[in-house]
Structure 1
Amino acid sequence: MKNLQHDWHNPIVSSYQNTIRQKIIGYDLIYDMMTEILHSSPTIDSMLIVGAGGGQELFSLGRAFPFSHFTAVDTSEIMLQLARKRMEKVVPPPHIEWYEEDLRSLVLHHQFAVASCHLVLHFIEELEQKKALLQKMADSLKDRGVLFISSINTDMSAEAFPLQLKYWRSSMLQNNLSEEHWLRFEQSFGTSTYPISLEMLTDLLHDVGFSKVIPYFKSHMVDALVAIKEEVNK
């Protein structure tokens, strides 16, 4: 997405799929639980994947729903290449339209039953831009459409924030990430990582048109939510 400070175009991001699991305890559960929740839904014909680079959502959902149509959006060419390569392993291959673009400026010609946006929102600095992305995803969904979203959520001014960092550091070091890696991550808060509180995120989701917001996963400061778009024509 635009306004991100991370250099997702640097070839070093190819290590992302390895380190993300060491950084976020239970990372795969974000996607496995999303897939399990969707299995209870009626037939899903279309899904919008925002921040699709790397391919984790597409890999999980593509295997579970091979006959769905996917629209994959990401601003990083390298990350999209990683996603394409990963999807070569999915048989039968799902139908995917790829867009190397910012969703906020992308013109979409139809609405979707499901959207996902995992581990993206905290890289957008300005609150209004976060809200603009959430609004675009809400507008891109059909009535009663479902958004799965996860992000780092915390109040960096709160007294608990140093303890949250301390506990997360312990987990990352136990998962064999180096102290240097931890320090880079810690220093990213406020410079390239811009979390908001879970309460603020929930309020924003309600503001842009989601009538129900339900948590389904938490690991340290990472929360995953299901947001259901309200019916506007009732």
Structure 2
Amino acid sequence: MFTGIVQALGRIQGQERRGDDVRLRVSGGGLSLDDVAVGDSIAVNGVCLTAVAVAAEAFEADVSVETLDRTSLGGLGAGSRVNLEKALTPATPLGGHLVSGHVDGLGTVEACHPDGRSWRFRFRAPDRLARYIAEKGSICVDGVSLTVNAVDGPCFEVNIVPHTMDATRFGEYRSGHSVNLEVDLIARYLERLMLGEQAAAPGASGITREFLARSGFRTD
């Protein structure tokens, strides 16, 4: 588990193809790895990866086909900057929100503009994730815990303060840039719980208008 509070900006040092998978080598960018051992988890752009080799200033992690398909990690070349966060401990301040590091899908930067001393970003999420994104709810973008300021269909807006612009990859984002999205895990589990026994039915994928009507909710 993570908090979505980025601890350092690292860099991809290299990618090595191993069959259909990839092994990444990532420099820590000042992140202390003294307490990181092989088998520990580190979030890279919001993706929970397992360290398979650890050196003084870098670590390696394998990226599976599933992760390559779901995230932007496969498209990062040598030199690309990445948001890093070590797994939380019982003593870690929970400054963001509970983040699993399991990316739900890829979003796209639609626009950004100054908003006072901050920046206002607009993202487009995949349609299937729109139901999990709520105004003033939490969302994780490339490993950064953020508050949703506005929602418009599959699009949402967030406010980025100067510190976050400096401490994360947000300063590099331009229109069309792909980002890893993780929705609030409470919303994800709540939907599954609401399905009740129907969750075990083949093809059960989520709450629909038909499901709500059968369950006695008004849908007009």
TM-score w.r.t. structure 1 length? 0.26
Whose Rg is larger?
Answer: 2
Q: Say which structure is richer in strand.
A: 2
- Scaled by the length of structure 2, the TM-score of the pair is 0.27
